[in-house]
């Protein structure tokens, strides 16, 4: 008889535990290369982004709401990029300083969690300035 009184209390505790959890967020940094040039982003790995393609620099997860990430915070202090223009290489010391990072919510859940990204769209004009 004691077991039947303990089970409802245990079940209610488990439900309360999961209902009170902070929402989870998946956050991506994406570079979309709409230029005519190949670029290489130098993080822990070299990421090659061909012309007219896009790549995710990194994905991270955390607790909180998707709007907690709208300032496009970066995982690295500095992210250099090499741009291959004809026979030369242009060095952009830190892509974090480039204008054009845009925050987008891909999917938002009822609990404010979800999937979001900061996307940089590279253009010919941006890379040849």
| Phi-psi group of 74: left, alpha or beta (phi > 0 → left; psi -120 to 50 → alpha; rest → beta) | beta
Is residue 55 within 8 A of residue 49, CB to CB? The reply is yes
Residue 106: band (very low, low, confident or very high) from pLDDT cuts 50, 70, 90: very high
List 107's β-bridge partners, or say none: 115
Instruction: At 72, list the tokens.
Output: 């496009």
Exposure of 12 in the CB half-sphere (CA atoms within 13 A): 5
Q: Give the C-alpha separation, 35 to 24, whole Å.
A: 34
13 pLDDT band, cuts 50/70/90, is very low
The pLDDT tens digits of the residues spanning 14-48 come to: 444 444 467 899 999 999 999 999 998 888 788 89
pLDDT band at 92 (very low <50, low <70, confident <90, very high): confident
pTM reported for the whole predicted model = 0.74
Q: What is the pLDDT of residue 6?
A: 56
């Amino acid at each position: 008889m004691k077991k039947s009184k303990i089970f409802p209390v245990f079940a209610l505790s488990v439900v309360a535990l999961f209902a009170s959890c902070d929402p989870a967020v998946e956050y991506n940094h994406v570079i979309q290369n709409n230029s005519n040039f190949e670029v290489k982003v130098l993080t822990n790995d070299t990421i090659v982004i061909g012309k007219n393609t896009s790549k995710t620099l990194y994905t991270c997860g955390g607790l909180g709401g998707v709007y907690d990430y709208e300032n496009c915070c970066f995982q690295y202090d500095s992210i250099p990029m090499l741009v291959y223009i004809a026979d030369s290489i242009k060095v952009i010391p830190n892509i974090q300083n480039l204008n054009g990072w845009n925050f987008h919510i891909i999917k938002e859940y009822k609990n404010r969690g979800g999937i979001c990204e900061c996307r940089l769209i590279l253009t010919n004009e941006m890379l040849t300035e």
